[in-house]
Structure 1
Amino acid sequence: MRTNRVLGGVVAVIVALATLSAVIATRGNAPAVTPGGPVAAVKSYLSAVADGRTDEAARWLDPSGPCGPQDFAYAVFVPGEGAPGVRVDLVGSSTAGPTATVEVETRIGDSGFDPFGTSGFSERHSFSLRTVDGAWRLTGTPWPLDHCFKGG
């Protein structure tokens, strides 16, 4: 009986180490984010949104586009302090000259460990960008803005 417990413990440790190795290996294969590139711009924008820093998030918007800092007051989702967690995974990106598209999957209300995938919900979002004075800026109405008012 004691041998079965020891053997079971050894198997559990091996499975845990194999799982940890798989997680580390897959994270190591994540695409590198080029500083100053469109993916980096979306990452900076979404980090600011997730932290509730709407002035910083607005800095990443195309100044000639329809959205501005005032539009975050009407945003569908701006978490800030005490809001549920947000996790963002890069799905893909493409660049064609001065324009780019970055697609992400957002998971909102992610509580971390959830073996059955039931906490929160996920959505895919596509961000359009263009270069403005040599820097990438988000155009249109990027998530979490579902509408924008030009002007004031």
Structure 2
Amino acid sequence: MDLSRRSTPADGGFCTYQPVVDGGACPWKLDCENCDNFVLSGADLLYWRRKAEQWRSIAENAPDDATADYLHTVFEPTAQAIKGLEQVLAALGILDEALALDLRRPQDYFHRTWSTAFRARDLAALPAPDDTTGQP
């Protein structure tokens, strides 16, 4: 998905639902992670990797195994989307660029690391890469 068409930043990605982009209210109460209009770009990879580390840390410090298992289960769809994002960025040859971004400095928003995005649900549904080629 090309983000050069209109989109608006969302928490950890972009919203492509046109009424929201035009300034309207979100009919799904900002439940971005479960919305088909929520997309991720290569610029979002480091954000989501930090979120995954945060969830792992919380699960490791859970008071019991049942709570830790629950936390891992809740985060699993997001973990699959992160893996899928890494796969497609690698296939496009821009994974290293995405991993090297310093989000504390202004970036070139027209570069394809920022402007090419993928639906989170599609990323989560990608099959695991073939071990012999490293490609999906």
Q: Which has the higher contact order (CA 8 A, sep 6+)?
A: 2
Larger helix share, 1 or 2: 2
TM-score, scaled relative to structure 1: 0.28
Higher radius of gyration, 1 or 2? 1
Larger strand share, 1 or 2: 1
TM-score, scaled relative to structure 2: 0.30
